[in-house]
């Protein structure tokens, strides 16, 4: 019952957050598809679109949701697949406001990884420290 209630709240929150920004997000996605120049406002729309999905994903993982729940959440935010590459390609162009939003997204990804690792019985922080600070270039492999 608790899981059902939480999923209902997540679905309601998703619906509310998506209603206002869906039109702007679709407009930015069209600009990306048409290879048009993106503005700081466009970057902000993309970052604002992704943030609620990640916040909800962290909560789902922490509650022990299964892959189906996470996949259902991903379907609620179909433009994330379009926005993530554009964000990564243009991150160096962000103004201060968008840099802060991007930092929040990076923090949410870390929280999601940490929660997923904990669910699997792995201490993410210890695992993360074992990784090399810089990965070798593909050419050197």
pLDDT tens digits for 16-54? 444 446 789 999 999 999 999 999 999 999 999 999 999
What's the number of domains the chain is made of?
Answer: 1
Q: Is residue 76 part of a domain?
A: yes
Residue 1 CB neighbours (<10 A): 5
C-beta separation of 95 from 42 below 8 A = no
Tokens representing 10 are 């997540």
Q: Is residue 33 part of a domain?
A: yes
Q: Is residue 6 part of a domain?
A: no
C-beta separation of 45 from 28 below 8 A = yes
Q: Is the pTM of this model over 0.85?
A: no
DSSP labels for 73-124? HHHH-TTHHHHHHHHHHHGGG--HHHHHHHHHHHHHHHHHHHHHHHHTT--H
pLDDT tens digits for 97-118? 999 999 999 999 898 888 888 8
Q: Which residue has the higher pLDDT, 81 or 131?
A: 81
Query: Averaged over 57-69, what is the pLDDT?
Result: 86
C-beta separation of 50 from 77 below 8 A = yes
Is pLDDT of 90 > 80?
A: yes
Q: Is residue 131 part of a domain?
A: no
Q: Is residue 39 part of a domain?
A: yes
Q: Is residue 102 part of a domain?
A: yes
- List the domain range (segments joined by +) for residue 87: 29-117
What pLDDT score was predicted for residue 13? 47
Tokens representing 11 are 């679905």
What pLDDT score was predicted for residue 120? 81
Q: Is residue 141 part of a domain?
A: no
Residue with tokens 């270039």: 137
Q: Is residue 41 part of a domain?
A: yes
């Amino acid at each position: 019952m608790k899981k059902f209630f939480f999923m209902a709240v997540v679905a309601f929150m998703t619906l509310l957050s998506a209603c206002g920004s869906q039109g702007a997000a679709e407009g930015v996605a069209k600009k990306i598809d048409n290879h048009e120049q993106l503005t700081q406002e466009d970057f902000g729309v993309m970052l604002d679109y992704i943030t609620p999905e990640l916040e909800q994903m962290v909560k789902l993982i922490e509650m022990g949701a299964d892959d189906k729940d996470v996949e259902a959440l991903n379907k609620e935010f179909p433009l994330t697949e379009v926005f993530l590459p554009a964000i990564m390609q243009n991150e160096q162009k962000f103004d201060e406001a968008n840099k802060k939003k991007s930092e929040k997204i990076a923090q949410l990804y870390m929280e999601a990884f940490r929660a997923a690792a904990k669910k699997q019985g792995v201490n993410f922080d210890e695992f993360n420290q074992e990784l090399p600070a810089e990965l070798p270039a593909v050419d050197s492999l």
